[in-house]
Amino acid sequence: MSTSIGIHDLSLATTEFVLPHTALAEYNGTDIGKYHVGIGQQSMSVPAADEDIVTLAAAAAAPIIARHGSDGIRTVIFATESSIDQAKSAGVYVHSLLGLPSACRVVELKQACYGATAGLQFAIGLVRRDPTQRVLVIASDVSKYDLDSPGEATQGAAAVAMLVGTDPAVLRIEEPSGVFTADVMDFWRPNYRDTALVDGHESIAAYLQAVEGAWKDYTEHDGRPLEDFAAFVYHQPFTKMAYKAHRHLLDYVGFASDKDTISKALGLTTAYNTVIGNSYTASVYLGLAALLDQAEDLTDRSIGFLSYGSGSVAEFFAGTVVPGYREHLRTEAHHESIDRRKTLDYAAYRELHQRTFPADGGDHLTPAQTSGPFRLAGLRGHKRIYEAR
C-alpha cells in the first residue's frame, strides 16, 4: 500500500483593506448587478502601501509554523504570478521572516494561476522521495489591472499556505492527475508592465478548452468517474467562471447541467473568492478552504479540483477528505482575516492602486498602514526591507 500524502494544514491571509463593488459601480456608473450577479463578486481585497505578496505569504504561513514547528521542512515552494524580483525568490524573504532553518531549499514557481498546483504536485514528489520531510507550499498574489479597464472589477489579493506531508490531517491527494497545455494569449503581463493584459473572450474559451483537455487526460489515466465527487473546486478568476466551467464539464461528459446540480457541486467553494476577488495562484485553494470551513461533513468524500493558469496550463486531480479533518481547520481565523479588512472609498483605493516605488535606488519608506504581523518597510538601495512585528 502506497504512503498517504497530502495537505496536513491549510491557512489563508488577505489584505488590510477592501473595496466594495458598490463603490466601484457608483464611480463608473455600472449597474451593480453586473458585478454581484454577472461575475459573482461582492468586493475585492486591496493591499495597504506596506503589504505585498511576501507579507501576505508570511501571514498565511506563520500559523502553520506556530502549530507544527519548522522541523522537517526542507523545502519552501512559493507560487506567484505577481513576483517582486526577476532573480530572488519571494520565498526567501518569507523563509527569513518565519525563522526557518538554513537547511532548506526555497524556490519560486510561475505559470499564471496554475503555479500553486504545480507546487503541490512537486511537493508530493519530494515527500514520496523522503517521507520524513514536509514541504511548505505557499500561493500568494496581488491581482492588478489597469484602472477603468474591464478587468478592474475582478482584482483581489490573498495568500494560502499548505503544509504537505505523509499521513495528512486534512486532505489526501490521489493519483492520477489529468494535465493539459495549450499556447494561447488569453492573459499575460510583460516584464515592462505592472498590470496584466487580458482578452476576456479568449480567456473564457481557453479556460473551457482546458477543462475538457484536463478531464479527458484524467479519465484516460483511470481517474474517478464524475459521480464519485461530493464537490468540485475550480480556479475562480471571478466566481461565475467556476459555474461556467462546471456546466461545460457536465455538458461535455453528458450529465445534467441544471442550476441546482451545479450549485450543489460547488456553491460552498465560492464564499471567500466572492469577497476577496481574484487571488491568482491562491484562488483554487481559497475555494478548498471555503468548502471545508462550511460543509457539514466531508469525511472520506472525494473532491475534484480543476486548476487553470492562463497561457495556458490546467490540471484535474482528486483529493479525499481525511477523518477528523474538522479538528484541524482554521475557520475562525479565516473569517477574522476577511472580516478585519477596513473599507476603502473609491478615491483611497485609486490612490493605493497608483502607488509605485521610485526606481532611483534611494531610501523610500512606506506608510505604516497594515495591522498584520509583517510589513514592507520600504526600499533601500534597491533592496526590499521587511519587518516582523
Q: Which residues are known catalytic residues?
A: 81, 113, 235
Q: What is the length of the chain?
A: 389
CA 203, CA 243: separation in Å to the nearest integer?
15
**Backbone phi, psi, residue 37, to 5°:** -105, -50
Q: 218 is written with which cell numbers?
A: 484524467
Report the candidate in 225, 246, 253 with the shortest Cα–Cα distance to residue 40: 246
Q: Give which of 321, 319, 5 is closest to 132, Cα–Cα.
A: 5
Rounded Cα gap, residues 285 and 283, in angstroms: 5
147 backbone dihedrals φ, ψ, rounded to 5°: -60, 140
Q: What beta strand segments (E) does 191-296 contain?
A: 197-198, 229-234
